[in-house]
């Protein structure tokens, strides 16, 4: 009796609730990528000085010092920008990977009952 | 499907449970790993072959073609996918563990753990009796855990089932399920939990004897089972790493790039994140409210600084770590999301500068850096002491901190012990106006037990799982720590006790921490007799009057009152919120009041030295009151306070209580009633583990006169009470607070004879032991001592002095003259006796 219940419940789940759950899982992983690669924070602070390293403008008449300060502050922002951009690209790649994986999983899930025996038979075919 | 309203095939977990029965979880995991690893391994081999072939490198003829490996990889991949799908099914079906509370079918109302119990018991079968369900308790993981936590061994349980079988104590499943479906709790349909099922199984009349023998009331079974269900659910959620709440715990990259770097801070303080994340498994029960208060206080636009005040051990630091953990997990308001909490090492700061100027400069630089970084919460532990030691080096902490305290770019989160807070900071209104104060209070009984349950896995793990706590032991630890231990605050006091009891259990080679061990341990520590009364002690308790009367002669009323009080305390029926016993001894001097107190100390605490004596004539003035409880202005601790700290388990003797100041009397009014008083620093000082005896000479003259007149004891008592009240010596409310007011009678001649004999016997014993000489105690000698050692004012008190001055003097002369030698026996001549 247990086996019969298992089969019937499984089939109902596989072609019902499982799809929502896979989508939920995908959504959570996308959220995770967004969070781990700090996408919101990094894009909001894209051109902020790196680690707030910045020099104050003290004497507006000393052009040499002024120039040095401008260069130093620009470098700080530039380094910050490049590193953040790099991290954002990594984040975007991760998200794309999740999206791709999600589509593959969804498609395979639909044909899974057919796919499993096919893979097995295919394996046998390749060996012999 | 004969069972009315109970059809297990409709249970929502039936499929997942059936899967577990066909292919158990562990086996599935093994196959899954194996097939996955195989698929990857052979795919890798196939890829290598393919690369080698494409590079035109000839492979040895024995090595098969890449298609062979590809084929193997696919053969492994097929079961891997199959098992993954099954795993997904099992996880999905058991994700929500609740039963369907509205279903008319009782089987559908079972939650996951109750379903496990039914499935492994009767399963889909509707026939038979509850035996299979009982057996299932010992088979399922949660059932087994419940038995263990209740201190029931597998063998005990098997024997219990055998007894039930012999007594035909199993009921038909039909009846059991039907009774269940309409039982009080579930009548209006509702979820049926594992707890409900276990309570129903063990709540029947058949189990009563078994559980009574184990001292397990139905309530304990329910609560232990509830704890386990919670624990199992928590563990299951933690195992599901793919849940959003678990994914959120992985820290991100580049979170701090937009905030300033903090070299000085990193040198003089440290980031608390790692420490907070190590608080694995601890849910900070009863601290959520405080953490929420801190969160909302931190959201203020500017000047969001907090001071957390509490007793040492009440959980200030744990609360702080709880906040840090929420930040690390991202479960906090967005404004606080990227905050970093640094703990300042105050001593390092002070030690880093050689001069006052250097310390100031460093402190200012550190604060500037924190402001510059923009995301710093600076935690300062022992804040009052920190400001105090800064001021000792001449640095005014308030002056330095003031500009930062109103800034919105840095928050200060100070921790303070209540005591030092009151002593050093509370008066400093200038500093305090910048802080929101959050008080950490001690948890109540229920919360305390939950906190102990939280800590159980951690402590068991720390001791290598060599022993485990039973639920009744945990309950006893909570109770014992609350009632009998006084050092430190809860919950730390209870958690420390847990660790100590764990060590004790392991050292005894036992596998379970049982409630008896807890009680024995507390007794060992406090000398307060607790736990099961053993036959030897039972006999002593029943013959307590005899024991007491051997030392306290001729005061039957006192002996009876005291013996009753001890038995009441020992049997555990006394009110735990009051002292063990409280007595007022009324009577003339030298009639045995102090002796009774000493005897009581010996009988209860096992040692007559366990007595703290106060001469209340020293506390007649208001200064006297301060001397007793301490003075805030002079910052001096009180005598009673410090005595209660050093020896909280003692008999407190208050000599001549009537002479104390009314304020002192009022203080004791509270002690007698509630078992504690508040000292000069506002701390609650626990006196619930003391016996309090107040003695008083008030009305001694009246007692004398009435005894002379031959008044009967009852009228003497009445007259004495009305005299005391009319004269305003004791107020009726004070008299009524004592457990017993005992009237000591003047000693009659025959009693004096007895006392004299007893005192002389003590002397003889001493002489025999130290000098090996034996004094014959003759009747004339006893009479002479009784006569000479009695004083109408001081009663029998001068007797000891008399023996020393007269009898011992005579013996000393005899020894020096060489009249008595070692090993000889001697007596006094009638002349010598008359010269006494």
Average pLDDT of B396-420? 90
pLDDT category at B2 given cuts 50, 70, 90 is very low
Cβ atoms of residues B578 and B733 within 8 Å: no
Q: Output helix, strand, coil percentages for chain A, rounded to the nearest 5.
A: 85, 0, 15
pLDDT category at A86 given cuts 50, 70, 90 is very high
Q: Which residues of B, range 178-237, sit inside 8 Å of A by Cβ? A: none
Q: Which residues of B, range 272-331, sit inside 8 Å of A by Cβ? A: 330
The answer, for B48 touching chain A at a CB cutoff of 8 Å, is no
In this structure, the number of other CB atoms found within 10 A of the CB of residue B395 comes to: 20
Query: 3-state DSSP call for residue B731?
Result: coil
Q: How far apart, in Å, do the first and last CA atoms of chain A sit?
A: 39
Query: 3-state DSSP call for residue B11?
Result: coil
Question: What's the gap in Å between the CA of A85 and the closest CA on chain B?
Answer: 11
Task: Give me the DSSP letters along B594-610.
Answer: HHHHHHHHHHHHS-TT-
pLDDT category at B500 given cuts 50, 70, 90 is very high
Q: Are A42 and B70 an interchain contact pair (Cβ–Cβ within 8 Å)?
A: no
Cβ atoms of residues B378 and B269 within 8 Å: yes
Query: Buried b / exposed e across B525-564, counting CB within 10 Å, b at 16+?
Result: ebbbbbbeeeeeeeebbeebeebbbebbbbbeebbbbbbe
Nearest CA in chain A to B10: A5
Q: What percent of chain B has pLDDT over 90?
A: 42
Give burial (CB, 10 Å; 0-12/13-18/19+) of B723.
middle
Average pLDDT of B623-629? 90
**Distance between CA A22 and CA B80 in Å, rounded?**
18
The answer, for B254 touching chain A at a CB cutoff of 8 Å, is yes
Residues of B in contact with A9 (CB under 8 A): 14-16, 89, 93
List of residues 6+ apart from B796 with CB closer than 8 A: B590, B591, B592, B747, B752, B755, B789, B790
- A99 prior amide bond cis, ω within 30: no
**Distance between CA B400 and CA B383 in Å, rounded?**
14
Average pLDDT of B723-736? 88
**Distance between CA B123 and CA B17 in Å, rounded?**
10
Average pLDDT of A71-81? 91
Nearest CA in chain A to B87: A10
Torsions phi, psi for B439 (to 5 deg): -95, 135
Residue B184 has pLDDT above 70, yes or no: no
Smallest Cβ distance to A41: which of B85, B250, B258? B258
> What pLDDT sits at residue B607?
86
The answer, for B372 touching chain A at a CB cutoff of 8 Å, is yes
Strands B340-344 and B269-271: antiparallel
Question: What's the gap in Å between the CA of A126 and the closest CA on chain B?
Answer: 5
Question: What's the gap in Å between the CA of B82 and the closest CA on chain A?
Answer: 7
Average pLDDT over chain B, rounded to an integer: 88
**Distance between CA B473 and CA B519 in Å, rounded?**
9
pLDDT, tens digit, 9 for 90 and up, residues B761-792: 888 888 888 888 888 888 888 888 888 888 76
Residue A108 has pLDDT above 90, yes or no: yes
Q: Are A28 and B21 an interchain contact pair (Cβ–Cβ within 8 Å)?
A: no
> What pLDDT sits at residue B727?
86
pLDDT, tens digit, 9 for 90 and up, residues B784-809: 888 888 876 677 778 888 888 888 88
Question: What's the gap in Å between the CA of B22 and the closest CA on chain A?
Answer: 8
> What pLDDT sits at residue B617?
92
Query: Buried b / exposed e across A110-124, counting CB within 10 Å, b at 16+?
Result: eebeebbeebbebbe
Give burial (CB, 10 Å; 0-12/13-18/19+) of B283.
middle
Rounding to the nearest 10 degrees, give the CA dihedral for residues B144, B150, B154, B158: -110
Q: Which residue do the tokens 């770097």 mark?
A: B261
pLDDT, tens digit, 9 for 90 and up, residues B371-387: 988 899 999 999 999 99
The answer, for B78 touching chain A at a CB cutoff of 8 Å, is yes
Q: What secondary structure letter does DSSP report for B65? A: P
pLDDT, tens digit, 9 for 90 and up, residues B66-116: 899 999 999 999 999 999 999 999 999 999 999 888 888 888 889 999 999
Q: Which two tokens stand for residue B806?
A: 């007269």
Question: What's the gap in Å between the CA of A36 and the closest CA on chain B?
Answer: 4
**Distance between CA B494 and CA B480 in Å, rounded?**
8
Query: 3-state DSSP call for residue B235?
Result: helix
Return the minimum-mean-pLDDT range out of A70-79, B281-290, B675-684, B712-721: B281-290
> What pLDDT sits at residue B1?
40
List of residues 6+ apart from A103 with CB closer than 8 A: none
List of residues 6+ apart from B365 with CB closer than 8 A: B264
Query: 3-state DSSP call for residue A49?
Result: coil
ipTM: 0.92
Give burial (CB, 10 Å; 0-12/13-18/19+) of B394.
exposed
**Distance between CA B768 and CA B499 in Å, rounded?**
49
Query: 3-state DSSP call for residue B555?
Result: coil
Residue B415 has pLDDT above 50, yes or no: yes
> What pLDDT sits at residue B282?
65
Which of these, B11, B179, B21, lies nearest to B103 by C-alpha position?
B11
**Distance between CA B783 and CA B796 in Å, rounded?**
13
The answer, for B14 touching chain A at a CB cutoff of 8 Å, is yes
Q: Are A21 and B9 an interchain contact pair (Cβ–Cβ within 8 Å)?
A: no
Cβ atoms of residues B548 and B562 within 8 Å: yes
Nearest CA in chain A to B257: A51
The answer, for B77 touching chain A at a CB cutoff of 8 Å, is yes
pLDDT, tens digit, 9 for 90 and up, residues B20-76: 999 999 999 999 999 999 999 999 999 999 999 899 888 787 788 889 999 999 999
Cβ atoms of residues B126 and B2 within 8 Å: yes
Number of CB pairs, chain A paired with chain B, less than 8 A apart: 141
Cβ atoms of residues B439 and B476 within 8 Å: no
Residue B684 has pLDDT above 50, yes or no: yes
Which of these, A7, A113, A11, lies nearest to B78 by C-alpha position?
A113
- Find the DSSP H helices in B512-551: 515-526, 535-542, 544-551
In a 13 Å sphere around the CA of B549, the CA atoms on its Cβ side amount to: 11
**Distance between CA B382 and CA B392 in Å, rounded?**
16
Residue B124 has pLDDT above 70, yes or no: yes
**Distance between CA B476 and CA B486 in Å, rounded?**
16
Q: Which two tokens stand for residue B796?
A: 């029998």
Question: What's the gap in Å between the CA of A65 and the closest CA on chain B?
Answer: 22
Q: Which two tokens stand for residue B233?
A: 């659910």
* Domains assigned to chain B: 1-247 (no CATH), 253-440 (3.40.50.300), 445-528 (1.10.8.60), 536-743 (3.40.50.300), 749-834 (1.10.8.60)
pLDDT, tens digit, 9 for 90 and up, residues B197-251: 999 999 888 888 999 999 999 999 999 999 999 999 999 999 999 999 889 888 8
pLDDT category at B814 given cuts 50, 70, 90 is confident
pLDDT, tens digit, 9 for 90 and up, residues B552-568: 888 888 888 888 888 88
- What's chain A's length in residues? 128
Query: Buried b / exposed e across B489-505, counting CB within 10 Å, b at 16+?
Result: bbbbbbbbbbebbbebb
Q: Which two tokens stand for residue B140?
A: 């399922």
Query: 3-state DSSP call for residue B411?
Result: strand
Nearest CA in chain A to B120: A2
Q: Is residue B743 within a helix (H) or strand (E), and if so which, with residue range?
A: strand B740-743
* The model's pTM: 0.82
């Amino acid at each position: 009796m247990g086996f019969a219940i298992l089969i019937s419940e499984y089939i109902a789940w596989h072609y019902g609730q499982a799809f929502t759950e896979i989508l939920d899982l995908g959504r959570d992983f996308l959220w995770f990528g967004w969070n781990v690669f700090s996408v919101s924070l990094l894009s909001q602070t894209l051109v902020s000085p790196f680690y707030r390293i910045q020099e104050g403008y003290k004497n507006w008449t000393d052009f040499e010092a002024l120039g040095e300060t401008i260069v130093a502050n620009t470098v700080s922002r530039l380094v910050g920008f490049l590193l953040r951009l790099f991290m954002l690209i990594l984040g975007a790649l991760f998200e794309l990977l999740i999206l791709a994986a999600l589509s593959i999983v969804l498609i395979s899930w639909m044909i899974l009952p057919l796919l499993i025996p096919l893979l097995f038979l295919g394996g046998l075919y390749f060996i012999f | 499907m004969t069972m009315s309203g109970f059809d297990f095939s409709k249970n929502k977990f039936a499929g997942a449970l059936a899967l577990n029965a066909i292919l158990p979880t562990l086996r599935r995991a093994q196959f899954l790993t194996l097939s996955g690893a195989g698929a990857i391994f052979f795919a890798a081999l196939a890829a290598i072959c393919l690369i080698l072939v494409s590079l035109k490198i000839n492979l040895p003829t024995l090595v098969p073609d890449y298609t062979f490996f590809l084929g193997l990889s696919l053969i492994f991949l097929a079961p891997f996918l199959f098992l993954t799908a099954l795993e997904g099914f099992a996880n999905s079906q058991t994700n929500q563990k609740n039963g369907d509370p509205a279903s008319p079918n009782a089987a559908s109302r079972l939650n996951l753990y109750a379903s496990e119990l039914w499935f492994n018991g009767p399963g889909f079968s509707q026939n038979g009796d509850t035996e299979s369900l009982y057996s299932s308790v010992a088979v399922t993981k949660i059932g087994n855990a419940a038995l263990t936590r209740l201190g029931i061994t597998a063998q005990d349980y098997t024997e219990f089932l055998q007894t039930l079988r012999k007594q035909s104590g199993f009921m038909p499943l039909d009846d059991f399920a039907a009774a269940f479906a309409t039982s009080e709790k579930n009548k209006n349909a509702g979820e049926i939990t594992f707890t409900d099922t276990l309570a129903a199984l063990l709540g029947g009349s058949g189990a009563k004897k078994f559980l009574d023998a184990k001292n397990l009331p139905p309530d304990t079974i329910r609560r232990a089972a509830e704890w386990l269900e919670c624990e199992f659910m928590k563990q299951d959620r933690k195992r599901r790493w793919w849940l959003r709440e678990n994914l959120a715990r992985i820290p991100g990259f580049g979170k701090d790039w937009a905030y300033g770097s903090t070299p000085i801070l990193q040198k003089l303080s440290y980031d608390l994140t790692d420490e907070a994340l190590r608080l694995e498994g601890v849910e900070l029960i009863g601290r959520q409210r405080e953490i929420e208060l801190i969160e909302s206080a931190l959201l203020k636009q500017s000047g969001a600084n907090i001071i957390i005040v509490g007793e040492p051990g009440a959980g200030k630091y744990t609360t702080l770590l709880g906040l840090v953990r929420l930040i690390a997990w991202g479960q906090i308001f967005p404004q606080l999301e990227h905050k970093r909490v640094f703990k300042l090492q105050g001593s390092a700061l002070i030690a880093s500068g050689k001069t006052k100027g250097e310390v100031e400069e460093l402190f200012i630089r550190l604060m500037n850096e924190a402001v510059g970084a923009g995301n710093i919460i600076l935690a300062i532990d022992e804040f009052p002491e920190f400001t105090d030691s800064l001021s000792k080096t001449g640095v005014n902490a308030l002056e330095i901190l003031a500009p930062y305290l109103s800034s919105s770019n840095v928050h200060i989160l100070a921790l303070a012990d209540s005591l030092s807070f009151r002593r050093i900071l509370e008066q400093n209104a200038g500093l305090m106006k910048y802080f929101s104060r959050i008080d950490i209070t001690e948890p109540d009984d229920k919360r305390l037990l939950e906190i102990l349950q939280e800590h159980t896995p951690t402590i068991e793990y720390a001791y290598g799982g060599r022993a485990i706590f039973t639920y009744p032991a945990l309950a006893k630890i909570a109770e014992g720590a609350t009632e009998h231990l006084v050092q430190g605050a809860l919950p730390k006091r209870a958690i420390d006790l847990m660790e100590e009891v764990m060590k004790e259990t392991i050292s005894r080679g036992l596998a379970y921490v049982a409630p008896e061990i807890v009680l024995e341990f507390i007794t060992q520590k406090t000398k307060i007799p607790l736990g099961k009364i053993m036959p030897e002690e039972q006999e002593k308790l029943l013959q307590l009057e005899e024991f007491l009367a051997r030392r306290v002669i001729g005061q039957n009323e006192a002996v009876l009152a005291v013996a009753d009080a001890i038995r009441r305390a020992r049997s555990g029926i006394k009110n735990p919120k009051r002292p063990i016993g409280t007595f007022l001894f009324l009577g003339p001097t030298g009639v045995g009041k102090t002796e009774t107190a000493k005897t009581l100390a010996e009988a209860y605490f096992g040692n007559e030295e366990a007595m703290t004596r106060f001469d209340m004539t020293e506390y007649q003035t208001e200064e006297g009151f301060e001397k007793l409880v301490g003075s805030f202005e002079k910052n001096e601790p009180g005598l009673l306070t410090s005595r209660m700290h050093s020896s909280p388990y003692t008999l407190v003797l208050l000599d001549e209580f009537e002479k104390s100041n009314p304020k002192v009397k009022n203080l004791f009014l509270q002690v007698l009633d509630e078992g504690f008083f508040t000292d000069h620093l506002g701390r609650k000082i626990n006196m619930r583990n003391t016996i309090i005896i107040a003695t008083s000479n008030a009305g001694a003259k009246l007692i004398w006169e009435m005894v002379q007149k031959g008044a009967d004891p009852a009228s003497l008592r009445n007259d004495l009470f009305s005299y005391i009240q009319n004269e305003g010596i004791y107020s009726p409310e004070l008299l009524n607070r004592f457990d017993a007011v005992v009237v000591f009678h003047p000693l009659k001649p025959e009693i004096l004879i007895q006392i004299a004999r007893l005192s002389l016997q003590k002397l003889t014993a001493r002489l025999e032991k130290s000098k090996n000489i034996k004094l014959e105690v003759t009747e004339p000698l006893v009479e002479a001592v009784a006569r000479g050692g009695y004083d109408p004012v001081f009663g029998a008190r001068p007797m000891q002095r008399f023996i020393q001055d007269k009898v011992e003097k005579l013996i000393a002369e005899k020894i020096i003259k060489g009249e008595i030698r070692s090993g000889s026996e001697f007596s006094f001549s009638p002349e010598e006796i008359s010269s006494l």
